[in-house]
Each structure stands twice: as structure tokens, then as C-alpha cells.
Amino acid sequence: MNTLLAQVSDTHIRGPGQLAYGRLDTAPYLSVALGTLMRMPQKPDAVILTGDLTDFGSPREYAHLAELLACLEMPFYLMPGNHDDRENLRAAFSAHGYLGSTGFIQYVIQVRDLRIIAIDTTEPGQSSGRLCSSRLDWLRAELAAEPAVPTVIAMHHPPFKTLIEPMDEIGLLEGGDELESIIAAHPSVKRVICGHLHRTIYTGFAGTVASTAPSPAHQVALDFESGADSAWNLEPPGFHLHVWNSAGVLLTHAVPVGEFEGPYSFL
């Protein structure tokens, strides 16, 4: 039996009717993405949202996000990004006990055959991310506790450089090297899934694969030029579907979001 984990990232929900960056209503984009997700012939077992759930972390934005996510029929799990506020997130989703009551928002969940370890890279008031020794010690202990269970590590800030300079400047600025050595020592880690970049990116990392997911709304402009503007565009949105299959392989499908013609039979 396959285990299907959908990853939706960087939803940046604002209050009803409010526009992100003065021009983008992110809410209908999320609704379209969730519609695509719910119409898939094989529904995901769970959904993980890898941070930047809201744009400013306000109670009004989390209330709006909760309304939008209510259409999901499967469990969903929330993670903070640099645009979020841990306490307002917890207050708005008080039924989500895995969010804890204080401090970092990091947790372990089991989705069928796959263990998900969500680790909190955020630093209040900062766009960049950090993994301090207490967060890394917690991760090390969780990995050591179940060394044989296939595991996905989820984090908002990716632990690698992307070549998109304005994003790398607000990337994971501390703890990445230690994270790499921890993961390299634990072959149970099958993937590191991240947000923050609003694009699909893959790279080798610590003997496994690390990736970032697109946003269901706006994407970060692909520009490797030094000094490039921090910019977004409306390239096709999407989400990722991570599948742990019965052969013991984790594979990822990128799912574009929208209404498209087809399917038409090849025959």
C-alpha cells in the first residue's frame, strides 16, 4: 500500500479581501489548489503545509486560513514559516495538539508507513532561518529513537543554497552543516522537504534528496544574477505529492494546479 503525503507550501493567506504585496489575493489560489488535491484519483493520506501559512501571522489571517482548509477531508499538519507567528497559529488551531503550547513548533507524526519529523527553522522577527543546538538535539534524539522507520524531515527554510541571491540571503543561516551530519548518520531519512523558495528545486543533501515546493499562489522569480531583485511572479502554481511505495522507495510528483483539458486516452 502506498503512503501519499501532499506538501502545500507558502500559502501566504491574508485577511478576507486583503491583497498580498498590494496586488495578489492568495486565498482563491489556495482554494483552487485544494480543489485539485481533493479531485486526485488517489487522495493523499495527509497534507503538510511547510510554512508561510499567512502573510503577517495575524489572528485574522489564521482564521481565514482555517476557513479555507476546512474543505480538506484528510488530516493536515501546519508548520510555521518566517511570515508566521507561533502563538497566533496555535491559538487559531487549538485542536491541533501537535503544535504544542510553547516554544518551537516541531513534532513527529506517523502517516501510514511514513514518519514525518517537522523541525522549526524560524526566528521571530527575522526572515532568515536558524537551527540552534536545542532544535538539532531534539532532532537527533527523535531519529535515534526509531532508526528503522522511513522518515521525511520537513522544514521551512531549505538547508542548501539555491543560487537565487535574495532568497539565499534569508535562507538557513545557522545549523545547516550540523543538520547535514545528523541526517548523513541516519539512513532512515528518505527526504528533506522544504518551503520558502516558492519553486520546485531538488539537490543531493546528506546522502538523500532535499527539495523545495512551489506555492499554490505566487512563485519566486528564477534569476541567478548577483544583485537580482527580490521578486515574485505568477508562473503556474502547484504542490508536491510525496509517495512512499511498497517497494520502499520515496518518489515525488510535482502537481500543477489549475483546470486543464483532458485526460484524453492515448488509444
Least separation in angstroms between CB 246 and Fe ion: 34
Q: How far apart are CA 129 and CA 123, in angstroms?
A: 6
Identity of the residue, 52 or 120, whose beta carbon is nearer to Fe ion in the bound complex: 52
Contact (Cβ atoms closer than 8 angstroms) between residue 176 and residue 232: no
- Segment interacting with Fe ion (CB under 5 A) among 10-18, 37-45, 67-75, 177-185: 10-18
Residues with Cβ within 8 Å of 94's Cβ and at least 6 positions away in sequence, in order, are none
Q: Using CA atoms in the order 191, 194, 200, 201, what is the torsion angle rounded to 10 degrees?
A: -70
Work out whether 142 is an interface residue with Fe ion (CB under 5 A). no
Residues 59-98 that bind Fe ion (CB under 5 A): none
Least separation in angstroms between CB 220 and Fe ion: 8
- Segment interacting with Fe ion (CB under 5 A) among 6-14, 101-109, 174-182, 186-194: 6-14
Least separation in angstroms between CB 24 and Fe ion: 12
Work out whether 10 is an interface residue with Fe ion (CB under 5 A). yes
Nearest residue to Fe ion, by Cβ distance, number only: 52
- Contacting residue, 52, 55, 120, 178, with Fe ion by CB under 5 A: 52
| DSSP of 21-38 | TTTB-HHHHHHHHHHHHH
**In this structure, which amino acid lies at residue 127?**
S
- Pick from 217, 199, 198: nearest CA to 25: 217
Question: Which spans of this chain sit near Fe ion (rule: CB under 5 A)?
Answer: 10, 52
